[in-house]
Amino acid sequence: MKKLLIASYNMNLGGIEKACIELLKNFDYTNYEVTLLLQEKKGVLLNQIPKDVKIKEYRISKSKNVIFRKIANRFKLWFYILKNYHYYDMAICYATYDIPSSILTRYIANRSVLWVHSNYVQAYQDEKQIRSFFDKRKISKFHDIVFVSKEARSDLIPYYPSIVNCSRVINNFVNFSEIEQLSKTSIPIEKLKTTLLFVGRLEETSKGLSRLLTVMKDFQNEQKKIDLWIVGDGPSRTVYESFIKSEKIKNVVFMGMQKNPYPYMKQADLFVLPSNYEGFPVVCLEALSLKLKIVTTIDVSTDDFHLSDYVWICERTSASLKQTIEIALKERPKKKFDGFKLNDMTKHKISELLGEKDEI
């Protein structure tokens, strides 16, 4: 039985954490002994972890005394490494941002993997910041690097050409059966017009929701009967609300954070993702599984999955977004989406990563 460790931060409700849960659900526990190492053993998703997974906690010191904190964490780090040196067959640093996880996973297993969930080139744009982020995590020291989108991999390779042969793209798993079931829940709003939907964190730097609000203002000025539902919350919400108030936009409704956004997807006519950058927007696959049309500024195609076959991809401008929304509302996607086939492809790729001929 192979020993596999996955290191992350906690199990709060977030994209990385949800992806981690779905990954854990897809292992054959008769062949794998899987350990989940968390810095904080907490979060609403803890109870969704399969019972066969061993959960361990690696809690670091957060003392306000900087010297004590550094010494304490350094001693704990090396003690843990010495105790578990090459104990695991493979260790995965699943939370890209977490430095302790990136250190531990390189020493406690025969093979180490760095999982990259976002496009950090687009996020930082400045070369110094990009190199600082990945140098601190010693990206060149990992045996394998997994990207959740083709764009994120191709953008980073010019900065680290040495990873070209040890990196690959693997999409996240999505529980499509569960989404279909959850989408049947009733919601406290009735769709009266053509309805656009945005689901995500309200944070302008990455999500670029302001360009969609500009489009909604144009639709209102043109007297088009189109509404926008916004599901989610975040630091930019007050900025968006102020913009809507000052521009007197009446066709935008904030729904707030919803643990179950799928009934809104079931009701809407078009899902819009106007982001500046993403890792792998699982929300797009969730929407596709509910037969919801999608317009997005993000192309997360892989060599064997072409997103443009199923959605409308546009440039990151309000003009392009508006034009593409109008087209998508009238047309049909080129192909019918099969989420289960995509999950099978993902399972095959993870089996290859683990060095298996058969499925995990």
Q: What is the DSSP string of 316-339?
A: SSHHHHHHHHHHHHHS--SS---H
- Domain 2-173+341-353 adopts which CATH fold? Rossmann fold (3.40.50)
Tokens of 291: 């037969």
pLDDT in tens, 315-335: 999 999 999 999 999 999 999
Higher pLDDT, 233 or 149: 233
**Category of 86 on φ-ψ map: left (φ > 0), alpha (ψ -120 to 50) or beta:** left
Which residues of the chain does CATH 3.40.50.2000 include?
2-173+341-353, 176-338
pLDDT in tens, 144-203: 999 998 889 999 999 999 999 999 999 899 999 999 999 999 998 888 899 999 999 999
**Overall residue count recorded for the chain in this entry:** 360
Write down the pLDDT at residue 301: 75
Write down the pLDDT at residue 97: 93
Cα–Cα distance for residue pair 305/325, rounded to 1 Å: 23
Residue 356 sits at the vertex; the CA angle it makes with 354 and 358, to the nearest 5 degrees, is: 135
pLDDT in tens, 7-45: 999 999 788 998 999 999 999 999 999 999 999 999 989
Check pLDDT > 80 for residue 279. no
Residue 105 sits at the vertex; the CA angle it makes with 302 and 282, to the nearest 5 degrees, is: 30
**How would you list the strands of the sheet with 226-231, edge to edge?**
252-256, 226-231, 194-199, 270-273, 293-296, 312-313
Cα–Cα distance for residue pair 216/221, rounded to 1 Å: 9
In three-state secondary structure terms, 258 is coil
The model's pTM: 0.86
- Domain 176-338 adopts which CATH fold? Rossmann fold (3.40.50)
CB 115 within 8 A of CB 93: yes
In three-state secondary structure terms, 233 is coil
Lowest mean pLDDT among 94-108, 110-124, 156-170, 268-282: 268-282
